Amino acid sequence: MGLKFTIITGYQGGGPIDLAVERGEIQCRAMTIESFLAREPFHTWRKTNFVRSIIQTPQKRDPRLPDTPTIYELMDQYKTPEQGRRVAAVILANGVFGRPMIGPPGIPADRLKILRSAYMSAIKDPALVAEAEKRGYEMDPVPGDKLESLAKEVMSQPPPVIERMKKILEP
C-alpha cells in the first residue's frame, strides 16, 4: 500500500506508550481491538475523539469498529501484489495464533482429536464463560485444525517472501 512508518522502540510497556501518544511523541499505536475497547485511556480517547482507529488486522471487520477497514480490504482496494499479501499474512498470523495450546511433535491423530475436542468443549463451559464475562475477558478461540493450517501456510512461503521478511525483521 506504499505506507512508510518509522518504528519507535524503547518504551517500557503500554502505559509509557499511551503517555507518548498523549504528549504527541508518537502518532500511531498498534494494539488489539480487545484492549482498545476494554480499558482506559482508550475509553476517554474514543469519547473525546482524541484517536481514530485507521485499520483492523483480522480478515473480517470487528462489528464494534464498523467504519474501520481491514488490511485485507485495503490490499484488495489497492491491488496489493501476491508477495505483499503473503508478507502481510505471515506478519499478521500471530494475531490469529494468540496464545495457542501446543503439544510435542508426533502426537497420534486420535489423541490430537481428543485433545482438540476437549479444549473446545472446556472453552464453552458455562462456568468458564461466566467467569470470563465477569472479568471482561473476550473468548474467541480458534480451532486447532485452523491453527495447524495457518502454521503450515506461514512456514511454507516462497524464497522471495522469506527474503522480504528478513529485510523487515533486521534491526
In a domain, 24, yes or no: yes
pTM: 0.75
Judged against a pLDDT cut of 80, whether residue 150 lies above it is answered with: yes
Average pLDDT, the chain: 90
Total number of domains in the chain = 1
Phi, psi of 24 (to 5 degrees): 85, 15
Q: How many CB atoms lie within 10 A of CB 134?
A: 8
Q: CA-CA distance, 3 to 87, in Å (whole number)?
A: 14
In a domain, 139, yes or no: no
In a domain, 16, yes or no: yes
In a domain, 28, yes or no: yes
pLDDT at position 158: 94
In a domain, 70, yes or no: no
For residue 45, give its domain range: 11-52
Q: CA-CA distance, 48 to 106, in Å (whole number)?
A: 53
CA-CA distances (angstroms) from residue 32 to 42, 55, 92?
Answer: 12, 11, 12
pLDDT at position 8: 85
In a domain, 3, yes or no: no
pLDDT in tens, 131-148: 988 987 888 888 999 889
Q: CA-CA distance, 163 to 1, in Å (whole number)?
A: 19
In a domain, 87, yes or no: no
Of residues 86, 63, 146, the one with CA closest to residue 72:
86
Q: Is residue 76 helix, strand or coil?
A: helix
H helix runs in the chain, sequence order: 14-23, 33-38, 42-47, 71-77, 82-97, 109-123, 126-135, 144-155, 159-169
pLDDT in tens, 54-102: 999 988 999 999 999 999 999 999 999 999 999 999 989 888 887 788 8
